[in-house]
Amino acid sequence: MPRIKCSVDQCLYQEGNECKASSIQVRPTLMDHMTTVPDDTACDTFIPRHAAKK
Ligand code: SF4
pLDDT tens-place string over residues 6-27 = 999 999 999 999 999 999 999 9
Expressed in angstroms and rounded, the spacing between residue 41 Cα and the centre of ligand 1 is 12
Expressed in angstroms and rounded, the spacing between residue 52 Cα and the centre of ligand 1 is 14
Residue 29 falls within a domain, yes or no?
yes
pLDDT band at 52 (very low <50, low <70, confident <90, very high): confident
Cα(6)–Cα(13) distance, rounded to whole angstroms? 10
Residue 43 falls within a domain, yes or no?
yes
Residue 1 falls within a domain, yes or no?
no
Query: How many Å is the Cα radius of gyration of the chain?
Result: 12
Kindly report the length of the chain: 54
Range of the domain at 45: 14-52
pLDDT band at 5 (very low <50, low <70, confident <90, very high): very high
- Per-residue pLDDT, 10: 95
Residue 9 falls within a domain, yes or no?
no
Give the torsion sign (CA, 33, 39, 3, 24): negative
Helix or strand holding residue 43 (H, E): strand 41-43
Pocket, ligand 1, Cβ cutoff 6 A: 4, 6, 8, 11, 13-14, 19, 21, 24, 43, 45-46
What is the number of other CB atoms lying within 10 angstroms of the CB of residue 14?
Answer: 19
- Per-residue pLDDT, 53: 60
Residue 5 falls within a domain, yes or no?
no
- Per-residue pLDDT, 7: 93
Residue 6 falls within a domain, yes or no?
no
Q: How many domains does the chain have?
A: 1
